[in-house]
Amino acid sequence: MQAARRYFKSFASGFVVAVPVTVTFLDYVGYVARVEGASMQPFLNPEDRSFNDVVLLNRWSVRNFKVNRGDVVSLASPRDPEQRIIKRVIALEGDTVRHTFKMPGTRTYKNRYVRVPSGHFWVEGDNFGHSLDSNFFGPVSVGLVHARASHILWPPQRWQRIEPSLPTDRRPLDQETIDHLEEQGAVTVPKT
Amino acid sequence: MQAARRYFKSFASGFVVAVPVTVTFLDYVGYVARVEGASMQPFLNPEDRSFNDVVLLNRWSVRNFKVNRGDVVSLASPRDPEQRIIKRVIALEGDTVRHTFKMPGTRTYKNRYVRVPSGHFWVEGDNFRHSLDSNFFGPVSVGLVHARASHILWPPQRWQRIEPSLPTDRRPLDQETIDHLEEQGAVTVPKT
């Protein structure tokens, strides 16, 4: 009886310590998550595999909300804050991004080009046509970013560090093109 | 020397435990903060006082992103994710809210009425003339909400529980009015 109580006390105090330590680590350093869905194909969850990728999500690297073009990030969906989505960062605040019309019924801006407002960024899934992203819901508040996907951890054949990289057709526009578009009034600057 | 080492070891292990426990508490339960600025006058930081109010910010109550009309909440600013702002929740997703034009140069919607998109809410400072809020930057992603201000803790004369309450001129519109406005095409439904 004495031994059981001692054991229980040790267990309880270990538990009371371990939970906050673990939670703090997961919140401030990072954790591991399985990627669901096809919106980042072929980079994540490619079709020829039957297992979903598992990625390392780095929380520490986004603690100051500094993200780079080409990063793969997890963020709270602007359409539902309890849902996490994983997308690629295409453009940052101040950038001019070409809006790619995708789905019939997508509410669109008047112009094809959009200026990303301060405090926002533009995200897209690599899988054109199968991704609900900024092409659908516009620029997203950077405050919604949750973590940067730094590595693919599983399956072992796909183990790699994830480097920031933009698709060739999504590179930033050069300043001359931007000036030209602005003169034509072809750039939408959204409210905010 | 031995005593110093033992002391240091106790201190270090206490510290290693105390930091995560405290951080977890602050992140998941709540903490105390001083209110800066005049945007919530006269409710917070009223002009006749020289001290700023100190409020209790309840993190636990917003863990599922459930907020109510009339709540006073702290959120990451959509214009700068590192800045925290404190505002009142005026409208939730699906609501139709009357947009009040305030400052010259405020970029405005075509219509006076705005439908709050899913996953968003509409926040305003009580101080009509001195608040940068949804009247300026439009509906805000609920994912940016950080905490609900549940109590004013300081100064002692102002100690009170903060109850959800809407200004009389910011109450929700009745359905008949909304239907009428929709027929007139007077409601803007923003992209998202």
| Helix/strand/coil for A58 | strand
Q: Looking at residue A111, what is its pLDDT?
A: 64
- B52, two tokens: 């700023």
Identify which of A15-24, A56-65, B96-105, B107-116 has the greatest average pLDDT: A56-65
Taking CB atoms and an 8 Å limit, are A143 and B144 in contact across chains?
yes
- Secondary structure class of A36 (helix, strand, coil): coil
pLDDT of residue A110: 59
pLDDT for A77 beyond 90:
yes
Which residue did the predictor score with more confidence, A72 or A168?
Answer: A72
Q: Which of B87, B131, B134, B150 is catalytic?
A: B87
Q: Are A54 and A158 in contact (CB under 8 A)?
A: no
Interface membership of A137 toward B (CB under 8 Å): yes
For residue A72, pLDDT beyond 50: yes
Contact between residue B28 and residue B60 where contact means Cβ atoms under 8 Å apart: yes
**Residue B107 in this model has a pLDDT that exceeds 80:** no
Catalytic position from the list A9, A77, A87, A118: A87
- Residue A128: which pLDDT band, with cuts at 50, 70 and 90? confident
Q: How does DSSP classify residue B118? A: T
* Cα(A152)–Cα(A171) distance, integer angstroms: 24
What local confidence, expressed as pLDDT, does residue A192 receive? Answer: 56
Nearest CA-CA distance, residue B136 and chain A, Å: 7
Which residues in chain A are contacts of B107 at CB distance < 8 A?
A: 189, 191-192
Q: In the prediction, which pLDDT does A17 show?
A: 85
Which residues fall within 8 angstroms of residue A148, CB to CB, at 6 or more apart?
A57, A58, A61, A62, A67, A71, A72, A73, A74
Across all residues in chain A, what is the average pLDDT? 89
Which region among A165-169, B15-19, B33-37, B46-50 has the lowest average model confidence (pLDDT)?
A: B46-50
pLDDT confidence band for A103 (50 / 70 / 90): very low
- One-letter amino acid at A128 equals F
Each residue's pLDDT tens digit, A5-42: 888 888 888 888 889 999 999 999 999 999 999 999 99
Distance between CA atoms of B145 and B66, rounded to whole angstroms? 10
Would you say residue B104 has pLDDT above 80? no
CA atoms in the 13 A half-sphere facing the CB of A130: 10
Least confident residue range of A107-111, A163-167, B89-93: A107-111
Q: How confident is the model at residue A141, as a pLDDT? A: 96
B80-90 core/surface letters (b: 16 or more CB in 10 A; e: else) = bbeebbbbbbb
User: How many residues appear in chain A?
Assistant: 192
For residue B106, is pLDDT > 50? no
Q: How far is CA A5 from CA A2, A11, A14, A15, A19, in A?
A: 5, 10, 14, 15, 21
Phi, then psi, of B178 in degrees rounded to 5: -65, -45
What pLDDT does residue A101 have?
58
The percentage of chain A sitting over the pLDDT mark of 90, rounded to a whole number, equals 62
Q: What is the number of CB-based contacts under 8 A between chain A and chain B?
A: 105
Query: What tokens appear for A4 in the block?
Result: 């059981």
Q: In terms of C-beta density within 10 A (0-12 exposed, 13-18 middle, 19 or more buried), how is residue A189 classed?
A: middle
Q: Identify whether the C-beta of residue A142 lies closer than 8 Å to the C-beta of residue A148.
A: no
Q: Model's pTM, two decimal places?
A: 0.89
Judge whether A9 counts as a catalytic residue.
no
Helix B2-28 vs helix A2-28: angle between axes, to the nearest 10 degrees? 70
For residue range B118-171, list pLDDT tens digits in order.
999 999 999 987 899 998 888 999 999 999 999 999 999 999 999 999 998 888
pLDDT at B152: 96
| Number of residues written out for chain B | 192
